[in-house]
Copies of this chain bind each other. A is one copy, B any other.
């Protein structure tokens, strides 16, 4: 059921900072002529001719699949490729539009159509310098000092620094269901209650302007929001008139059920059907903005991602590039564009992603199984949140079973357990370091976020689980 809300107007959401920005484009000063010269000589911009660039050409070999040393796909980097869907040195190594080079933007539009499927026709994409850059720019164009942003109480905390810089106020949403016996990212009831009682719970604060969410492969909790929860949250966004920023670095690393085994012959259609639908599939008016990154499915060093947003936000978004940083590296854009191209376009790219995702599934299974069959688990010292998606497995440390726990010293007991785990050679991230508000979330922060991405193999993860188990047995039995 959709709830009718106030009339939605994109302009109402643009920050004063962004509205008042005047960008100096001194080089765009070509006189308007009735009958312009057919072949003018351009002495306007300070672009060096590409003949000055030291790179003449290159050849790039692609892996057949993750971790495979064999390579059958090769692409050449040429000065000016005859195929206009490829990028060459002349364009990619030159100054270019901040929103990205057109061949890559077109590939990304195709990916968005095939994978994300926005139902509003008025969307556009802009490249970014990765996920955080996209989020920073969304805050830049939306947040006035004093504006409120809703966050899941545990979140990717560097985003809080981005918000603080714009003067925004973060307010956490409780995630109790994540810690229940059947963990889920369904916080629609919590959010309803929060919004219905906003002025009582947060007296003096304006109602929220935007919700920041990591709906798939939540960081740190690894869970994914169902479409049913999304519909309820979206209805609340309509009723209370706020935007939704869905940050989806992990959306493609999607697992369908806890006992799923990797299937390397999964078809693209089967895979896409298994991915959680975006908020954009229910967004009719353009109140949803999506950020993605190539960091997790290609490589982080690219500093390359993209943002899907309503056309009404596009100019403000790209103006931000002019006052913070320009667009992403053309070298990065070339590598991504020509790789996707070489793999056969969107379908080939999805096939690559399936291989990446299967590798993560293999790791997830190995690590979760090792934890669940561990002695520490058997003794009730830990609980695993089996992730729906992504690269993080959160392990709850059952401090209430520890003899030093007195109902009030959760941080202390967690520190004790984690220090001993570290002593045993197990390093992860403390749950409380990923809170919007430590106090607000203290009772639920007795977990460790474990990234399964960096280890060289599943065996290392199994060894890590054993180390954790050993250390907990020591700590609890001591």
B-binding residues in A (CB < 8 A): 21-24, 26-27, 29-31, 33, 35-63, 66-67, 69, 71, 92-96, 129-130, 132-133, 136, 157-158, 160-162, 164-165, 219, 295-296, 298-304, 322-332, 335, 339, 343, 352, 356, 359, 391-392, 415, 418-419, 422-430, 433-434, 450-456, 460-461, 463-464, 467
Asked if B93 and A158 make an inter-chain contact with CB atoms under 8 angstroms apart, the answer reads no
Alpha-carbon distance A3/B188, docked complex (angstroms): 68
Contacts of A327 in B (CB 8 A): 303
Chain B nearest CB from A64 CB (Å) reads: 9
Contacts of A298 in B (CB 8 A): 53-54
Contacts of A23 in B (CB 8 A): 161
Asked if A427 and B30 make an inter-chain contact with CB atoms under 8 angstroms apart, the answer reads yes
Alpha-carbon distance A392/B45, docked complex (angstroms): 10
Given A42-B427, A46-B391, A427-B42, decide whether A31 and B418 contact each other with a Cβ distance below 8 A: yes
Asked if A300 and B49 make an inter-chain contact with CB atoms under 8 angstroms apart, the answer reads no
Give the copy number: 2
| Contact with A429, one of B29, B51, B133 (Cβ below 8 angstroms) | B29
Asked if A46 and B158 make an inter-chain contact with CB atoms under 8 angstroms apart, the answer reads no
| Most chain B beta-carbon contacts within 10 A, residue among A21, A44, A48, A423 | A48
Residue of B nearest to A352 (CB): B54
Alpha-carbon distance A296/B50, docked complex (angstroms): 11
Given A24-B158, A59-B59, decide whether A41 and B460 contact each other with a Cβ distance below 8 A: yes
Contacts of A359 in B (CB 8 A): 52
Asked if A329 and B326 make an inter-chain contact with CB atoms under 8 angstroms apart, the answer reads no
Chain B nearest CB from A428 CB (Å) reads: 5
Contacts of A423 in B (CB 8 A): 33, 35-37
| Contact with A300, one of B71, B93, B161, B419 (Cβ below 8 angstroms) | B93
Given A329-B328, A339-B54, A352-B54, decide whether A300 and B47 contact each other with a Cβ distance below 8 A: yes
Contacts of A467 in B (CB 8 A): 41
Top 10 closest A-B pairs, CB basis?
A: A301-B330, A329-B329, A37-B425, A51-B67, A93-B299, A43-B450, A93-B301, A26-B433, A325-B325, A41-B464
Contacts of A429 in B (CB 8 A): 26-27, 29, 44
Given A29-B433, A301-B96, decide whether A463 and B426 contact each other with a Cβ distance below 8 A: no
Residue of B nearest to A39 (CB): B425
Alpha-carbon distance A348/B335, docked complex (angstroms): 27
Q: 15 A-B pairs, CB-CB below 8 angstroms?
A: A29-B429, A30-B427, A37-B425, A43-B464, A44-B429, A52-B356, A53-B298, A54-B352, A55-B62, A57-B60, A58-B59, A158-B322, A303-B330, A304-B329, A329-B329
Asked if B37 and A424 make an inter-chain contact with CB atoms under 8 angstroms apart, the answer reads yes
Asked if A46 and B392 make an inter-chain contact with CB atoms under 8 angstroms apart, the answer reads yes
Asked if A299 and B61 make an inter-chain contact with CB atoms under 8 angstroms apart, the answer reads no
| Contact with A26, one of B38, B157, B304 (Cβ below 8 angstroms) | B157
Alpha-carbon distance A204/B322, docked complex (angstroms): 30
| Most chain B beta-carbon contacts within 10 A, residue among A54, A162, A352, A434 | A54
Asked if B160 and A31 make an inter-chain contact with CB atoms under 8 angstroms apart, the answer reads no
Contacts of A35 in B (CB 8 A): 423
Given contacts A26-B434, A43-B461, A94-B299, 10 further A-B contacts (CB under 8 A): A51-B67, A58-B58, A129-B129, A129-B326, A136-B323, A165-B323, A165-B324, A301-B331, A303-B326, A303-B327
Given A71-B57, A325-B136, decide whether A44 and B427 contact each other with a Cβ distance below 8 A: yes
Chain B nearest CB from A167 CB (Å) reads: 11
Chain B nearest CB from A44 CB (Å) reads: 5
Asked if B330 and A43 make an inter-chain contact with CB atoms under 8 angstroms apart, the answer reads no
Contacts of A463 in B (CB 8 A): 41
Chain B nearest CB from A300 CB (Å) reads: 4
Asked if B52 and A67 make an inter-chain contact with CB atoms under 8 angstroms apart, the answer reads yes
Asked if B323 and A301 make an inter-chain contact with CB atoms under 8 angstroms apart, the answer reads no
Given A31-B418, A48-B453, A325-B324, decide whether A54 and B63 contact each other with a Cβ distance below 8 A: yes
| Most chain B beta-carbon contacts within 10 A, residue among A62, A133, A324, A453 | A324
Alpha-carbon distance A253/B427, docked complex (angstroms): 51
Residue of B nearest to A17 (CB): B165
Contacts of A66 in B (CB 8 A): 51-52, 54
